[in-house]
A = this chain, B = another copy of it.
Amino acid sequence: MTQQDNNVTEATTSISGGKEAPEILSNQPAPEQAAEVARDLQRVLDGEFPEARATMREILNDKTMRPLAGLPLEEARAITTEKLFKVLESGLPHGVFRPEQGGTGKIGESLVSIEMLGHADLSLMVKSGVQWGLWGSAVGNLGTERHYKLVEDTINLRALGCFAMTERGHGSDVQSIETTAHYDPETQEFILNSPTASSEKFYIGNAARDGRWAAVFCQLYTPGNEESHGVHCIVARIREEDGSPIEGVRLGDHGHKGGLIGVDNGTMMFDHYRVPRENLLNRFADVDEAGNYSSAIENPNRRFFTMLGALVRGRVTVGAAAGAATRTALDIATTYANLRRQFASDESLPEKRLIEHRKHRLRLIPAIAKSYGLQFATNTLISRVTELDRRGVDPTDMTKEQEADQRELEAHAAALKAANTRHATDTIQDMREACGGAGYMSENLLTSIKADSDIFTTFEGDNVVMLQLAGKELMTGFAKELGGLKPLEMVRFGLDSFGSLLRRRTAADAIIQNLQDTFTDSEETSLFDPANQVKLLTERENRLMLSLARRLSPARKMDVADAAEVVDKAQDHLLAVAEAHVDRIIFEAFLDAESKLTTLQGKKVFEQVRDVYFLSLIVDNASWYLEQNLLSGTRTKAARAALNDLVDSLGPWSQTLVDAFGVPSQLRELSLMEPYEAMTPVCEFNPSKGPK
């Protein structure tokens, strides 16, 4: 929780050396003006694929697509499976696959469409993700022509499949999985086996009920090789058409979960189960009839990570859908705050709307601002995935630059996955609380959004692991750029440079260059100055990287165990690097989006949203800025006071800000916090008579 200082009552005097203060926006916007601003903001928020979003909004407003809470497990599963066919109509699944596989190759549209499902029904989003994104992409990206028929059946829901990677004993460390596949040249089959209890496939979506197929990740063995060739993927039938498990496959049901009960997660084990040689997904490695292993990628480690490259899209959509779910929660709670009256300041005054309480504004508006930033950054990420896909890089033969691009993309996806899902978990919880008891009633969606989104911080890559991955990638790049410098020089270099040493290409490149060119730094520079804002965020990222580099450098000369100890002790530091990085990336996405607005009033509102995001970061990290002498206590206090001023100014615009999210309107209607209609009247009764 942010610690309030509050010694400063006059907010903005010292935030900008007395030069400026935030303009206070008009008290309550006229409806037409508000609508115009909402349209302008929505256009920018919708990003590169507005048609895909529009299509999905229409589908999600269909009555059959209403989210349903409190259903029995089997009913929830059946309804979710039915809804998949509605998603199929949208053309979304076809976008995931290349034309030669029966798809359209519209990857950007498909990613955005999956994101949109997150507004309404995370079970459906995950079920879609499992079917087309994980199972489908495994077959599509790791397979070859001989698997195209299966891809087609997958698109059209004739082949429902599982992505059988995680094992009971191995979640995030996939390279350690224990399921084996031994090749038998006599029958030209692979023998799938689960040798230990910890090798059981676990939490596998589609496994408990619907799945007929599975993409089984396993250690691959060929005759004459004692060692595994590493993790590979083999497709296997797991159920007969009638739903009974195939002999040699044992399937289990995880039953009820904390959320996502529309997704049938289950377990899977193999008892020397034989599948044809052709079931190996052989794009990156193959075994010939005689049992000879070959791969275009020599290095087993590189091969493994190339195969896992497909996971990146899963991470992108998990983050993006968590973002959409958060926006629905913000929409519900903000609409409620603008309607609900509670407490008068004094008996003689009318009861105030919730939004008129400052503490309530401080709950809603910084969270809305962060959702804006995350959506911009996620849009940018989706555009980059699309762009890389369009370029059609051959993963077996990448240039150094392409490899760096790919790694950077993965680091970004990981960092944004963590940031989006962390924000989701925190904000959805807070919005539930902001709606009081009404927020706890199932018909108001908030509790099911909460329950369903909860696992998003953990699955598709645990957030701690994701941030480590991003942090390590950043440090690797950093070490390269700084290779020759000694620690002391590094410090000097770091502190003297404006902008990041390793400022990865972002959408806002030109804008930032321009800001840098015109920027003059001084103690008095305003915290509202975007150039100064970029500088302060960049400084944090750079200094954290520098100090981490210093901290880790002795490890190079140590033995493995001691070095591991040093790295473990710096784990929180590494995570802080990744967080600082993603904070800056989001901010730059704000700057990029800002340039696309067309209305004056839209720009004014937007600028304050950006300032709220920025000042929240300063307030949350005030102790760091103070310890580093980058800001004085007077300025951090002023930042806190300015944040208060800004939420006061944006309070009357709060409804407009969430209108711009374009949450499918049915969801808000269902959640109007007037659960009267939804309740069963036990007796007929007319409450409108006055007192006798």
Contact = CB atoms under 8 A, between A and B. Distances in A.
Interface of A: 1, 3-7, 9, 69-70, 72-73, 166, 168-173, 176, 180, 182, 191, 193-197, 199-200, 202-203, 221, 245, 247, 249-259, 266-267, 269, 271-272, 341-346, 348-349, 351, 356-359, 362, 425, 429, 432-433, 436-437, 439-443, 446-448, 450-451, 454-455, 457-459, 462-464, 544, 547-548, 551, 560-561, 563-565, 567-573, 575-576, 579, 619-624, 626-629, 633, 636-637, 644, 648, 675-676, 678-683, 685-692
Residue from A253, A440, A547, A567 whose CB has the most chain B CB atoms within 10 Å = A440
A504 to B, nearest CB: 22
Contacts of A440: 257-259, 454-455, 458
A443 B255 contact: yes
A197 B687 contact: yes
B343 A172 contact: yes
A258 B679 contact: no
Contact of A572 (B4, B459, B628): B4
Given A197-B676, A345-B564, A691 B250 contact: no
Contacts of A629: 633
Given A171-B342, A193-B691, A442-B257, A568 B358 contact: yes
A253 B680 contact: yes
B447 A451 contact: yes
**Nearest 10 Cβ contacts at the A-B interface:** A258-B447, A70-B256, A345-B564, A622-B623, A627-B633, A250-B685, A6-B573, A4-B576, A256-B442, A252-B679
A258 B563 CA distance: 46
Nearest to A540: B3
A564 B346 CA distance: 7
Contacts of A439: 258, 458
22 contacts: A5-B623, A6-B547, A6-B576, A166-B437, A171-B437, A176-B351, A193-B691, A195-B689, A197-B687, A221-B691, A249-B683, A255-B443, A258-B446, A258-B450, A271-B689, A362-B572, A425-B429, A433-B457, A437-B458, A440-B454, A569-B648, A626-B627
A1 B683 CA distance: 50
A193 B690 CA distance: 8
A437 B623 contact: no
Contacts of A459: 437
B257 A173 contact: no
B358 A569 contact: yes
Contact of A623 (B199, B200, B342, B623): B623
A544 to B, nearest CB: 7
A575 B3 CA distance: 10
A455 B437 contact: yes
A623 B644 contact: no
Nearest to A544: B6
Contact of A4 (B196, B249, B573, B685): B573
Nearest to A619: B623
How many monomers of this protein are in the complex?
Answer: 2
Contacts of A691: 180, 182, 193, 195, 221
A425 B171 CA distance: 26
B633 A571 contact: no
B620 A687 contact: no
A440 B636 CA distance: 39
A465 to B, nearest CB: 8
Contact of A348 (B251, B560, B579, B680): B560
A567 B253 CA distance: 55
A582 to B, nearest CB: 12
Given A4-B572, A173-B342, A572-B644, 6 more contacts: A70-B73, A191-B692, A245-B682, A259-B447, A447-B454, A627-B636
Nearest to A72: B72
A638 to B, nearest CB: 11
Contacts of A569: 358, 644, 648
A357 B636 contact: no
Contacts of A72: 72
Given A436-B458, A437-B459, A458-B440, A687 B6 contact: no
A620 B1 contact: yes
A16 to B, nearest CB: 18
A687 B437 contact: no
Contact of A251 (B429, B573, B683): B683
Given A345-B564, A359-B571, A362-B572, A3 B437 contact: no
Contact of A441 (B4, B257, B463): B257
Contacts of A692: 182, 191, 193, 272
B548 A203 contact: no
Given A432-B258, A441-B254, A687 B200 contact: yes
